[in-house]
Structure 1
Amino acid sequence: MKMKSLSAIAVAGMVAVSWGTVALAADYTLSVNTALATSDPLYKGLEAFQANIAERSNGALEVKLFPGSQLGPDEDVLEQARAGAPVAVIVDGGRLAVFQEEFGVLGAPFLASGYDGIRKVVTSDMFEEWVQKLHDASGHQVLSFNWWQGERHLLTNKPINGPEDLAGVRMRTPGAPVWIETIKAMGATPTPMPWGEVYSAIQQHVIDAAEAQLPAVTGAKLDEVVSHITKTGHINLITGMVTSAIWFDSLPEDLQVILREEALKAGDIASYGTQDSLAQIEADLVAAGITVTTPDVTPYRDATAGVYDMLGYGELRDTLRAMAAE
């Protein structure tokens, strides 16, 4: 028996009459949550996903988009998905590591740079094995993991010339071990909190700094509360669209195929769009008065080298770096 989403059940059988025609509600609905703003270049990929799913499914599957974490923090949406709700979230591997540890390595420091190399990792046969493990272990289904958001940099209100300048700096980080240990190794004091709270936390001096990719800086208007961006590129942020395995498995097989194929295509649209936008975003930040510097990252790379072994990712590091460099 097919399992329908609560939202689909609520509207099942309802019709809308417009210009003399009758439009049936979608059989299935997927609500996609993202912390990002609609202005983020990645959001165009989500809009493409929404449109292409509607077209390929002939209206049987409807995608609804919820920017700005309207459905809640990523961790909460993951729990909703785990319970079988028809929701998905754009989320990093660090948050998935609590369910399947291999995913955490994707957020480890200086794993790869840019999109093309890390794309090879997240479309590999090895990665697909991780996807199946996650499905079986936690009840989550990865639709695709090629949603690249850019390299993450330091956002501060003072110049940062090296790791020593981060001593005592309270820096926001996602609440996942690989992120926390990376920021700690770089010299700052990691302070986990939801992304939506960062602006006010910096403004009110609850924290001193943050770290993020350039599109997220402008999307959250952090250029209003920080004065310096140090382009360390310490984490190459690759994220995935993750939904409920229970819900996904209940779908007809053709819709399962459509979801995964279109998620991969849309991820490329999002990622290459992000890549193409970075130079202009940086120019706009400089024009707005932000001091942007590009340091020698060697001290940061050296300082964070031990994170892999600390979290048990030593062997994976070498395998994935080689894969990304092919």
Structure 2
Amino acid sequence: MKKRKIFCLILLLTLIFTISFLSADAANVTLKLGNKEADNHHESLALKKFAELVEEKTNGEIKVDLYFNEALGKPDTQLENTIQGVQDIYVVGYYVLEKYIKDFGVTEMLHFFKNRDHFQRFLLSDLVAEMEKELLEKTGLRVISIDRNWWLGPYRVICAKKPILTLEDIKGLRLRAPDSKMMIRIWGELGANLTVIPWSEVYLALSQGMVEAATGTIMDMSYQKFYEVTPHITKTDEKFQQACLFMNNAKFQSLTKEQQQALYDAANEAGEYCTKLLYEGLDEALKDMESKGAIFHETDLTPWQAQARKALLEMEAEGAITKGLMDKIDALYP
């Protein structure tokens, strides 16, 4: 009987120790987060806000270490590291996921979405929810920015040493591209010669003549100072962009329910802050770039849109885009 009591006591103490250890472990968490933007980019400033909110909402139990400007590696490296758990959170656009879930490539369909509201409806739709469910099952990546409010932009442009105003101007143009099959295919159909170059190396590539032009948001032109080497900036608005916070699900599940909710809430609040910073800084950025030699252009994009639509239909016929998906996305726009 005495031995049994001692055994039960040891078992109880072991259980108490284990629970205490796990509680202490959950109360002292450091998350490693990386992105591709410079530290002065409004996305990065919003991530600083995210880190502050996480620490505040968890009473200091969780801290977020931030690594900007591809400090943790190029997109494929950071994505793979987040899947493997070497990195906890990666902040990037949906296009990097098309290698795992083909249909995520549709977020990069150029000249397809009618406006920002149409794109937002798509991101909040059951179509994307199903893609994210499959993503979680295949890779263990979980989206924690569930309000879909980390807007980039607010509109897209192409920068070059000469004005790019017609499809004729695009023919043979040596254009930088991200590693996106969708963007490479459609810009290629428009006539450009594409070279994949990491974002952190684009300025050097433009200045050394490796490429003649690059696309990005109007705010990218300011943050990255592309206008210094490619002063002609044409509004193209070929797609709409949001950043997304992807987290390693095993790490997420190791947290308490309260900590998980704190991450969701912090991501959504910081997303609102991200969009607020975007619009607050636009006018000043435009004036600053213009004072330093940037020349802004607008053009009739109708021929570009027609050519892009033709390319998208060809991709659907080839199976590169799931048949019927474009119709379902079109139907989301009232």
TM-score range, shorter chain: 0.7 to 0.9
> Displacement of 1:275 after TM fit?
3.2
Distance change in 2, residues 1:228/1:26 (3 Å): farther
1:130 aligns with 131
Amino acid at match of 1:155: C
2:324 is matched with which residue: 290, 310, 315?
315
1:54 aligns with 55
1:223 aligns with 227
Which structure dedicates a bigger proportion of its chain to strand?
Answer: 1
Bigger shift: residues 75-84 or 40-49: 40-49
1:196 has 2:200 as partner: yes
> Displacement of 1:142 after TM fit?
1.4
1:261 aligns with 265
2:278 is matched with which residue: 269, 274, 277?
274
2:150 is matched with which residue: 125, 147, 150?
147
Distance 1:307 1:249 in 2: 42
1:239 is matched with which residue: 243, 246, 266?
243
State TM-score, norm by structure 2.
0.84
What is the correspondence of 1:62-73 to structure 2 with a 5 Å cutoff? 62-73=63-74
> Displacement of 1:282 after TM fit?
2.3
Q: Is the CA contact (8 Å cut-off) linking 1:26 and 1:62 kept in structure 2? A: no
Deviations 1:197-252 (A, max 9, x none): 11111111111111010111121121211121110111212221112122222222
Q: Is the CA contact (8 Å cut-off) linking 1:91 and 1:241 kept in structure 2? A: yes
Q: RMSD of the alignment, in Å?
A: 2.4
Q: Is the CA contact (8 Å cut-off) linking 1:111 and 1:236 kept in structure 2? A: no
Larger Rg: 2
Distance 2:144 2:268 in 1: 7
> Displacement of 1:76 after TM fit?
0.6
1:252 aligns with 256
Secondary structure at 1:205's aligned position in 2?
coil
Which structure dedicates a bigger proportion of its chain to helix?
Answer: 2
Query: Which ranges in structure 2 are unaligned for 5 or more consecutive residues?
Result: 1-20
Amino acid at match of 1:306: K
Secondary structure at 1:229's aligned position in 2?
strand
2:7 aligns with none
Q: Is the CA contact (8 Å cut-off) linking 2:112 and 2:309 kept in structure 1? A: no
1:80 aligns with 81
Distance 2:280 2:115 in 1: 11
Q: Is the CA contact (8 Å cut-off) linking 1:308 and 1:314 kept in structure 2? A: no
Distance change in 2, residues 1:254/1:85 (3 Å): farther
Distance change in 2, residues 1:101/1:192 (3 Å): same
1:182 has 2:191 as partner: no
> Displacement of 1:32 after TM fit?
1.7
1:299 is matched with which residue: 299, 303, 319?
303
> Displacement of 1:172 after TM fit?
0.7
Distance 2:169 2:272 in 1: 37
Number of corresponding residues: 305
Distance 2:112 2:37 in 1: 23
Q: Is the CA contact (8 Å cut-off) linking 1:29 and 1:86 kept in structure 2? A: no
State TM-score, norm by structure 1.
0.86
Bigger shift: residues 183-192 or 270-279: 270-279
Query: Which ranges in structure 1 are unaligned for 5 or more consecutive residues?
Result: 1-8, 14-23
Deviations 1:45-96 (A, max 9, x none): 2122111111111111111221211111121110001112242222112111
